[in-house]
Copies of this chain bind each other. A is one copy, B any other.
Amino acid sequence: MEFVLSKELIQENMLKILVEDDGHEGVSHVAGWLVRDMANVLGISPEIKSIKAAEELKEYVSDVLPVICVSADKGQLARALHEEGIINLDDIKDKRETYIFKVTELPDKEHKDASGNAEMIPALVIVGSDKRGTVYGMLHLSELLGVSPFTDWLDIKPKNLDNLILTDKDSLVSKEPSVRYRGFFINDEWPAFGNWCNRRFGGFNVKCYEHVFEMLLRLKGNYMWPAMWSSIFPDDGPGLASALLADKLGVVMGMSHHEPCLRQGEEYKYLRGPESIYGDAWDFRKNKEGITRFWEDGLKRGGHLENVITVGMRGEFDSTVLGKEATLGDNIELIRDVLKTQNELIRKYVNEDLTKVPRMLALYKEVEAFYYGDDKYKGLQGEPELDGVTLMLCDDNFGNLRTAPPIDERDHNGGWGMYYHMDYHGWPISHEWVNSNYLPKIWEQMTAAYEFGIRELWIVNVGDIFTNEYPLSFFMDLAYDYEKWGAANLEAPFIYTRNFVRTQFGELNDSYADEIYRLLLGYSRIASNRRPEAMNTDIYDPVWYGETDKLIKKCEEYMDMADKIYKNTGSYPFYELVYYPLMANLNVQKLWLYTGLNHLYAKLGAVDMAEKYAEIVNDCMLFDLELTDKLHTIHDGMWYGMGMSEHIGFNYWNEEECSFPTLYRGYRPNKPRIITCIPGTDRHTEGGFWTKSTLVLDAFLRPDTSVGSIRLCSIGAEKADFEIITDTSVIKLSETSGTLDKGEYADIEVRLDRSAINAGGTDCITYDITVKSPSGDSLIRVPVNMKDYSSLQKNTYVWCGLDYEGLSSAHYEVITDEKCLPLGYISIEASHYKNNGSDGDGCFKELREYGKTLSGMKAFPIIENYTPGKDAPYLEYGIYMEDEGEYTVDVYATPANPVYKDNLLRFGIQVLSGDNKSEIKLINTVADSYAVGDDNADWKQGVLDNIRISSYDGCFVKGYNDLRIYAADPGFVLQKIVIYKKDCEPAGSYLGPAETYRIQQVI
């Protein structure tokens, strides 16, 4: 069986979309989208025919091949098709938002075949269990036509086709969506979304929301919260127009967490007053009558539409409802009274049967405390007024769940919700400009939410929407089809991104799919490692571990690639979904990274190099303006307003008093002077006679390295000659003498011929390189690690920082951020374990490309509490030490929050040295005083830096040791481990010390 959607059939008016007069209005409306989609794909629009009754259908199919779009819960056609055996409605009985999508045949009543049977006419039957089911079914057809969910929103044109041939294989009965309410929140809408909306639509009106709703439904969402900074959704349509359209299309409206009873926060501001019937105080105690009336009128206005009604009460402008003097008890009592009043109003104006009314209470910020109460005051937990109310939990505004439902409340009869943030306007630093969200992180957190039983409602704050389409789309699909994208599918973020590329970029795919895939993941990982507004000059270290250089290289590689693709293709979807957010994001990263280099070289006195970097910063500053300007004019100014938010150098949580970069400049010394630097470190000297700084080039302490480098910078106003000599023939230098003019530098390659070394059995040989320059003789000691590691197991990390004589004292003459000797530490990437074991059923799994450096390791099942040593999974890292003694182990983990009120987010740690096993120590990654909140320094640092470091002091023996990390509380994701002698930390950096040497192959 085949159903062919072809240009020809439509041209001959033989293919039509049939909807039902009695069906959902929204279905007819969406049929219009389908027509538009077909026009875009096939180049021609089929006719929509609305028919009155089942009988008409029968007459009708004699003429045409129909695409029948009907719903089981409204009209008669679905039942008729069932009775005719065309479909089986039992497949979708009692299911939410499902549809039958069937390629079939209908009997042609007019024409019979030779044997008198009706001839069979091909048909495509889409029957929804309900309005949204039908709509999703219809949009499924769009998908099959190759239409992007963002076709309207981003003006993404699908590939042209001559026809689409559907066969039996395309028939399906859709699944029920995993999460009941799935949607997003337009928020923090000034200056970007607001200006855009005003210019393009003349306000936050139905013309605007029509586009938003279409995108939402195409993403298989069903729920949303409207913008609310300066607008009133149920009034601005004009009037109820937007709300009515939402209801027609099947979009369930909610309002933000602090806007109860279908009233927007802004409304009270306009309606209050000494003469107002609503009184003049947002105070349920002092103005109960006025506030109650305010809510009542809200429910009267919109209660007849499909909503999830926010209940509870918070203060104005996202603040606490009672003053600082109020006790917890006062607050709890107040909320209890509020709930009672609100439920009464809802019974009266919406539905006597409260169980039929979706209601939501946000356990957000201080409300969370009201829910749980404390020793003195019983919280709202178990409150009868909360029966059937969805309890909405939240992330910490930075993508980390704040809490999970208490274990014994997972089956709360109203279910649980999650308010997640891809955009945030608040402490410690807002992120609201362009997308800085990364799929692997969203996946890690939202799968946890689902596993913890948060399945009733998922809403995500997407700010201005624009540029967040990529993560939003993932969020919606994860909510719709958890089975496909959920915890069982570790590759979900990557497969999803590949699919996304396929869906959005039409013909670009053939040539650039791989590159675009890399760009999307690449830029968003960098942006989420440090969000643009929080980026600054002291974030990444300008020298240590080369982290700045490496990141600049990556940024420039991605920017070049994006630029090339855009230049070659001029693709507008590529511009919107990749080019603009990537360029905007990475340009800001570059801007600060180069500012860091400008400061570094200025402080060194290398003012010409500083100036070179300052010029690049200047280019970045200009490019930032250009990008916004172009965004505002491209595609007929479709996006005017977007990207307008301040985004450089926030000094407060919001843009107020934000600072552009400060650039340093200086003066060349009057004499010829050369600084000798060891790249990747802050070690440098001019070799003065009295200062006698001795540098260490530690590259060859790694047995796998035979190339190192030295940088010479000429900083003086005059030409400076240099000569480089070494005391050995096993070291070859790429240059041994030269002249550097002012501002010039030379990178000297230092190549070691290990095979030529006659170590004579010693563990370490040290060679000397001397740079002779007008400033003096800079001595560089070059220790070479000659140890034989052939007996070590694979993935053993080896201590290479040999503390040999002559190095330590000399080295300390250099002013450096290192507290340890060169390479005096071990740095481990979490996934480079020696063993992945378990004392129970759980096990650690790698989250690929997750976190700040390589990847993350997380215990599965993810919601379990494990007891280390009893039933916990563990990771075992091989450590080969040169010295016995006390070491500090820094454990780098995702800055997750403890999911329960016990404030525990622990892991276990243990050192095994031969037969000796240290006791397993449980380390809580958060302090007792830890709390998600604006005032908590640990939390702030965690969400800004995207890492949380816990330290453990333990003894290691000389030789083999195993370090075990055990899972304990849910939420722990290990990223990195750094080990060093107590009080001898390696130099700090944003990503932490680069991974050190490990045995990779055993010969």
Contacts and interface: CB of A to CB of B under 8 A. Distances in A.
Contacts of A657: 605, 685-686, 688, 691, 775
A905 to B, nearest CB: 31
B659 A666 contact: yes
Contact of A660 (B652, B654, B656, B669): B669
Given A690-B656, A691-B656, A662 B621 contact: no
A656 B689 contact: yes
Nearest to A604: B659
Chain B CB count within 10 A is highest, among A621, A652, A654, A662, for A662
Contacts of A665: 662-663, 665
A660 B605 contact: yes
Integer count of this chain's copies in the complex = 2
A666 B656 contact: no
A389 B654 CA distance: 74
A930 interface: no
Nearest to A628: B670
Contacts of A776: 656
Nearest to A621: B667
Nearest to A693: B657
A690 B688 CA distance: 52
Interface in A183-236: none
A603 interface: yes
Nearest to A776: B656
A372 interface: no
Interface in A657-706: 657-670, 685-686, 688-691
A478 interface: no
Interface string A586-627: 000000000000000011010000000000000001000100
A998 to B, nearest CB: 38
A687 to B, nearest CB: 9
B666 A663 contact: yes
A145 to B, nearest CB: 44
A653 interface: yes
Contacts of A667: 621, 660-661
A662 B653 CA distance: 30
Contact of A775 (B656, B660, B661, B662): B656
Contacts of A775: 656-657
B669 A658 contact: yes
Contacts of A656: 686, 688-691, 775-776
A690 B776 CA distance: 55
Contacts of A685: 657
A662 B668 CA distance: 10
Contacts of A666: 659-663
Nearest to A617: B667
* A656, A659, A666, most chain B CB atoms within 10 A: A656
A690 B653 contact: yes
A686 B658 CA distance: 10
Nearest to A660: B667
Interface residues of A, number: 31
A688 B654 CA distance: 10
A668 B605 CA distance: 26
A699 to B, nearest CB: 24
A662 B662 contact: no
Interface string A741-784: 00000000000000000000000000000000001100000000
Nearest to A658: B669
Nearest to A610: B662
B690 A659 contact: no
A665 B691 CA distance: 31
Interface in A838-859: none
A652 B691 CA distance: 7
A132 to B, nearest CB: 40
Contact of A690 (B603, B652, B669, B691): B652
A173 to B, nearest CB: 52
Nearest to A605: B659
Contacts of A691: 652, 654, 656-657
Contacts of A690: 652-654, 656
A691 B658 CA distance: 11
Contact of A662 (B603, B625, B654, B661): B603
A885 B670 CA distance: 57
Interface string A629-656: 0000000000000000000000011101
Contacts of A658: 669
Contacts of A688: 652, 654, 656-657
A995 B421 CA distance: 53
A666 B617 CA distance: 10
A663 B664 contact: yes
Nearest to A657: B686
Nearest to A815: B651
A269 B297 CA distance: 101
A650 to B, nearest CB: 11
A685 B657 CA distance: 8
A124 to B, nearest CB: 54
A776 to B, nearest CB: 7
A654 B686 CA distance: 13
Interface string A97-124: 0000000000000000000000000000
A662 B664 contact: yes
A926 to B, nearest CB: 27
A667 B661 CA distance: 7
Contacts of A654: 688, 690-691
A625 to B, nearest CB: 8
Nearest to A664: B662
Nearest to A671: B646
Q: Please indicate which of the listed interface residues A653, A660, A776 has the most CB atoms of chain B within 10 Å of its own CB.
A: A660
A603 B663 CA distance: 10
A659 B656 CA distance: 35
Contacts of A661: 666-667
A477 to B, nearest CB: 36
A198 B657 CA distance: 59
A689 B660 CA distance: 20
The winner among A657, A661, A669 for most chain B CB atoms within 10 A is A657
Contacts of A652: 688, 690-691
A151 B408 CA distance: 100
A670 B629 CA distance: 13
A605 B657 CA distance: 9
Interface string A695-739: 000000000000000000000000000000000000000000000
Nearest to A618: B667
Contacts of A669: 658, 660
Which has the most chain B C-beta neighbours within 10 Å: A602, A668, A669? A669
A617 to B, nearest CB: 9
A686 B688 CA distance: 47
A654 B625 CA distance: 46
Nearest to A669: B660
A137 to B, nearest CB: 47
Contacts of A621: 667
A690 B319 CA distance: 12
A636 to B, nearest CB: 24
Contacts of A603: 659, 662
Interface string A245-285: 00000000000000000000000000000000000000000
A621 B607 CA distance: 15
Contacts of A663: 664-666
A653 to B, nearest CB: 7
Given A654-B691, A656-B775, 11 more contacts: A605-B657, A652-B688, A656-B686, A656-B689, A657-B691, A657-B775, A658-B669, A660-B668, A660-B669, A662-B665, A665-B665
CB-CB nearest 4 A-B residue pairs: A656-B688, A660-B667, A662-B666, A656-B691
Interface of A: 602-603, 605, 621, 625, 652-654, 656-670, 685-686, 688-691, 775-776
30 contacts: A602-B662, A603-B662, A605-B657, A605-B660, A621-B667, A652-B690, A652-B691, A654-B688, A654-B690, A654-B691, A656-B686, A656-B688, A656-B689, A656-B691, A656-B775, A656-B776, A657-B685, A657-B686, A657-B691, A657-B775, A658-B669, A659-B666, A660-B666, A660-B667, A660-B669, A661-B667, A662-B664, A662-B666, A663-B664, A663-B665
